Structure 1
Amino acid sequence: METNPISLIPADTTAPIYADTVLSERNQEINERAPQPVAKADRIQTIDLIRGFALLGILMMNIPGFGFLWTTLRTVLSKPEGPDFYAFTIVGVAFEGTMRGLFSMLFGAGMVLFTQNKQESENGPTVAEYYYRRLLWLVLFGVFNAYILLWFGDILFFYGLCGMLLYPFRRTKAAWLIGLAIACLGINTIRTELWYSELRSNRSGYLEAVALEKVHKKPTEKQKEAKAAWEKFEKNTKRDPKKEAKELKAMRGDYGTVFAHLLPRNSDDEIYGTYFGGWDMLLMMFVGMALLQWGFFANKLPTSTYLLTLLIGYGIGLPISWFYVKSEVTWLVHPTQVVDNFRTIPFQVYDVRRILLALGHASLLILIYRSNVVPWLMKSLTAVGQMAFTNYLMQSIICTLFFYGYGLGYYGKLAYHQLYYVVACVWLFQLIISPIWLNYFRFGPFEWVWRSLTYWKAQPMRRTLTTD
């Protein structure tokens, strides 16, 4: 006969011990139900894989900002030959905009997964509170990246702000999410067209004013204003040796000099980016949320679907991208030609081509992942993606120390194509270090800080059999 263990306890101690046991079990149950980071075993590997690819690709776009004097690019592109021109063209056609677009899609998908993987707890913060706390910390990390690490191209600040708008749409059907994405695309298109229309109007007013002045007639006030606006635009598109020398001197200075030089740029970029860049990011985030519902990122679709997406993405996206980059080169070298020859700015194809190419890249990665052709590379990319937050900030740390004056001081010293040697080195470093790190730890160091701040509790860092 089975003995009741409670009957063996003296009567005066049974109640408190039994109550403590029940309370302990209840607390354990609550703790298990409380929101917490996703365990490694529960992560969607293909999402981490694609995120890792996008994260490494973003450095290709960022590297000129870290170490190249942008105004000299017009001289580089003036002749369609040489390694610098080819590097610009290849990166532009295949990757420009698509890496950030892909990263934005995955950010939108990740925000949905964050809410889906959490259960409401009876005591303590709600899932919504954790969600917004997470994003507020992300905004502050963006400020840290821009003002402490001194990367003026930071995206964390904007992702945090845009992410706050996603929560009400977390359960929205995919078709409506695509509708919201199209609405964002429309707003972007209209705003760009209004800007370009004004630019063309200034160009027309400038030509009219010049024609009148040649025959010694006085232009109208409106024509004078248009002429002044166009001349200002033209001046900003031309090289200024004094301004370039000042830029080089500042960026090769000590930390305080670089900080003071970049302070107004960072402030302006955060205001401008919030106002103009938000629609761009929201567009891709909504697309990513829809793709998550359809199972695209989670490797749930048939191989034929990924193959068809690959063919459409590259088959249509690459020709459009080639047109875009050719127009971009013309714009950088001879902007007047674009204004005179195009009633609509050719850059309106930007978002369409990057969506197509992003889907093509993601489909290719998933097909390679399924084929198990290069498992070591897939594993490394997945690790990079799992540590994307750390690796993104690490790119800022490495590149600023390599290019800025308080580090090695290589700012403006490398040819355009040589910048990608630095990219390759950073890639190699992160592809090697990330899987090694994750063999011993559950998170990257910055992921650990972010999660600990989000849950306001230090998260277990070291890998154990019970936590993984």
Structure 2
Amino acid sequence: MDAISATVPSDSEATRYAAAQPVAKADRIQTVDVIRGFALLGILMMNIPYFGLSHTATPRFFTAPVDSPDFRTFMTVSVVFEGTMRALFSMLFGAGMLLFMAKKDTLADGYGMPDYYYRRLFWLIVFGMFNAYLLLWPGDILYTYGVCGLFLFPFRKMKPRTYLLIAFFCVAVLGVKGIFRAMESKENREGYLKAIQLEKQKKPLTDELKKAKEGWLAVEKSTKYDKKKEEENNKSMRGSYATVFSTYLPLNTKFESVKFYQNFVWDAWALMFLGMALFKWGFFSNKLPTQTYVITLLAGYGIGLTLGWFAFWNGVAWFTNPGKTLDADTFPFQAFYHIRRATSALGHASLLLLIYRSNLVPWLMKALANVGQMAFTNYLMQSIICTLFFYGYGFGYFGKLSYYELYFVVAAVWLFQLIFSAIWLRFFRFGPFEWVWRSLTYWKRQPMAL
């Protein structure tokens, strides 16, 4: 006999001691699932170059002929989608945490909502490490979400305006860090130019100038395409599981330690708190006037796409000639990266909500909602499919496709996930990984079949 049935509560206590359980399908907010499904599919657009190509290939995309399919695809993805899908996913994660924390603090087997909340995040961290270290995807976001989510609980009852202020604070931290990095690059550039001048005059360099010269040469090297280095990386990624694991181990370790504390944590918090504010205002649950969504759409795309366009061409100039670009002291569009991606993301969400309200393509909205309801499964499924397709222990296509050809793979995965999600949810309550996660969270096997 378990702990609940051993002590039967009175009728007045029944609600308080009801068994904790996941959100029922009938209680889900469909618009949240629609946006989450859109973001989940969109994330693959941003991840696919890193699944299928070496990061050392980036300079050749920025400097490709402007009329080539690679450049046009790269430009479109960079301007319209870069960072926006992860932004939406992060916002919805914050909203999801509020939904979870809004549950009544009922006791089951001696545990209340806070216990389940932290257990849920603990297992998310474990799944993130599984994605990074076993599925070998260094771009994992589950670990970051799990760790960042641990700190959200004390903020659950704050007003939307407070969430917004916290989000702006996190963006400000990232902005200050960016300013310091830009100042360092500027100082290295100035030191490099001075060192070159002194060397021409055959004068000795101070240690400070030597360091500045080395720093700037490292920057220039990072912007130049190195075919030999890319081929070496391709060879490693087409190797055995052990070879790929060894190749990615330092990167995974760096991403989940140094990089996490330097940047990822502030990035994730900024968007999570923004998402919490928007959710409390009713944005994601489709409660605002149509006029509000229209204005948000126009403003979001107006600001986000404009900044994205100029930032992209600034990137082209940087990879073409970083010294000339820095010396020109042009407007730092890259500094507005977080504002750009957040506003574009809100533009995407507003467009989706307006389409949802219009009831023009209900089949598409339903399909996206299915993907969103199984977002956890579909996210990990993308890692499984793409690593097996590209890495050496699978089909070994790493580095064999051009940039634009990668998006044929994206389309194929999208089609599969749209169909798979629809079929699966006709028979089951949750996706397979959602079922495992919920069963671990509540430490009780959840009902699976409908």
Taking the aligned partners of 2:311 and 2:98, their CA distance within structure 1 comes to 32
Pairing 1:460–2:444 present: no
Partner residue, 2:229: 243
For residues 435-463 of structure 1, the C-alpha deviation after alignment (integer angstroms, 9 at most, x for no partner) is: 11111100000000000000000100011
Partner residue, 1:173: 159
Unpaired runs of 5+ residues, structure 1, are 1-19, 464-468
Unpaired runs of 5+ residues, structure 2, are none
Secondary structure at the aligned position of 1:291 is classed as: helix
Shift of 1:343: 6.7
Letter in 2 for 1:135: L
| Higher CA-based Rg | 1
Greater shift, 33-42 or 445-454, is seen at 33-42
Letter in 2 for 1:330: A
Residue 339 of structure 1 contacts residue 345 of structure 1 at CA under 8 Å; is this kept in 2? no
Partner residue, 2:217: 231
Shift of 1:28: 10
Residue 15 of structure 2 contacts residue 106 of structure 2 at CA under 8 Å; is this kept in 1? no
Taking the aligned partners of 1:22 and 1:397, their CA distance within structure 2 comes to 45
Partner residue, 2:127: 141
Shift of 1:355: 1.2
Partner residue, 1:60: 45
Pairing 1:403–2:387 present: no
Letter in 1 for 2:48: I
Residue 61 of structure 2 contacts residue 74 of structure 2 at CA under 8 Å; is this kept in 1? no
Shift of 1:270: 1.4
Pairing 1:341–2:328 present: yes
From 279, 294, 297, the equivalent of 1:310 is 297
Taking the aligned partners of 2:95 and 2:148, their CA distance within structure 1 comes to 13
Letter in 1 for 2:188: N
From 8, 11, 25, the equivalent of 1:40 is 25
Pairing 1:445–2:427 present: no
Structure 1 pair 22–159 and aligned structure 2 pair: CA distance change class (3 A): closer
Pairing 1:424–2:411 present: yes
Shift of 1:70: 2.8
Shift of 1:31: 8.4
For residues 274-314 of structure 1, the C-alpha deviation after alignment (integer angstroms, 9 at most, x for no partner) is: 11111111100000000011000001111111111111111
Structure 1 pair 304–231 and aligned structure 2 pair: CA distance change class (3 A): same
Root-mean-square deviation (Å): 1.9
Shift of 1:321: 1.2
Secondary structure at the aligned position of 1:441 is classed as: coil
Secondary structure at the aligned position of 1:285 is classed as: helix
Partner residue, 1:154: 140
TM-score of the superposition, structure 1-length normalised?
0.91
For residues 140-162 of structure 1, the C-alpha deviation after alignment (integer angstroms, 9 at most, x for no partner) is: 10000001101011010101011
Letter in 2 for 1:63: I
From 2, 5, 8, the equivalent of 1:23 is 8
Identity of aligned residues (%): 56
Residue 327 of structure 1 contacts residue 346 of structure 1 at CA under 8 Å; is this kept in 2? yes
Taking the aligned partners of 1:344 and 1:420, their CA distance within structure 2 comes to 32
Taking the aligned partners of 1:313 and 1:454, their CA distance within structure 2 comes to 37
Pairing 1:387–2:374 present: yes
Partner residue, 2:178: 192
Residue 36 of structure 1 contacts residue 118 of structure 1 at CA under 8 Å; is this kept in 2? no
Pairing 1:207–2:193 present: yes
Taking the aligned partners of 1:458 and 1:105, their CA distance within structure 2 comes to 29
Instruction: State the number of aligned residues.
Output: 444
Residue 9 of structure 2 contacts residue 17 of structure 2 at CA under 8 Å; is this kept in 1? no
Partner residue, 2:422: 435
Letter in 2 for 1:340: D
Pairing 1:76–2:61 present: yes
Taking the aligned partners of 1:84 and 1:22, their CA distance within structure 2 comes to 66
Partner residue, 1:92: 78
Secondary structure at the aligned position of 1:23 is classed as: coil
Partner residue, 1:8: none
Letter in 2 for 1:301: L
For residues 155-186 of structure 1, the C-alpha deviation after alignment (integer angstroms, 9 at most, x for no partner) is: 10101011111111111101111100110011
Structure 1 pair 344–312 and aligned structure 2 pair: CA distance change class (3 A): closer
Secondary structure at the aligned position of 1:81 is classed as: coil
Structure 1 pair 226–322 and aligned structure 2 pair: CA distance change class (3 A): same
From 110, 113, 124, the equivalent of 2:99 is 113
Pairing 1:269–2:255 present: yes
Pairing 1:367–2:354 present: yes
Partner residue, 1:182: 168
Taking the aligned partners of 1:367 and 1:120, their CA distance within structure 2 comes to 37
Shift of 1:400: 0.4
Letter in 1 for 2:38: F
Shift of 1:32: 6.8
Structure 1 pair 253–31 and aligned structure 2 pair: CA distance change class (3 A): farther
Partner residue, 1:4: none
Greater shift, 273-282 or 169-178, is seen at 273-282
Residue 62 of structure 2 contacts residue 315 of structure 2 at CA under 8 Å; is this kept in 1? no
Residue 224 of structure 2 contacts residue 319 of structure 2 at CA under 8 Å; is this kept in 1? no
TM-score of the superposition, structure 2-length normalised?
0.95
Shift of 1:260: 1.3
Partner residue, 1:220: 206
Taking the aligned partners of 1:407 and 1:122, their CA distance within structure 2 comes to 45
Secondary structure at the aligned position of 1:297 is classed as: coil
Letter in 2 for 1:50: I
Taking the aligned partners of 2:337 and 2:318, their CA distance within structure 1 comes to 14
Taking the aligned partners of 2:135 and 2:358, their CA distance within structure 1 comes to 40
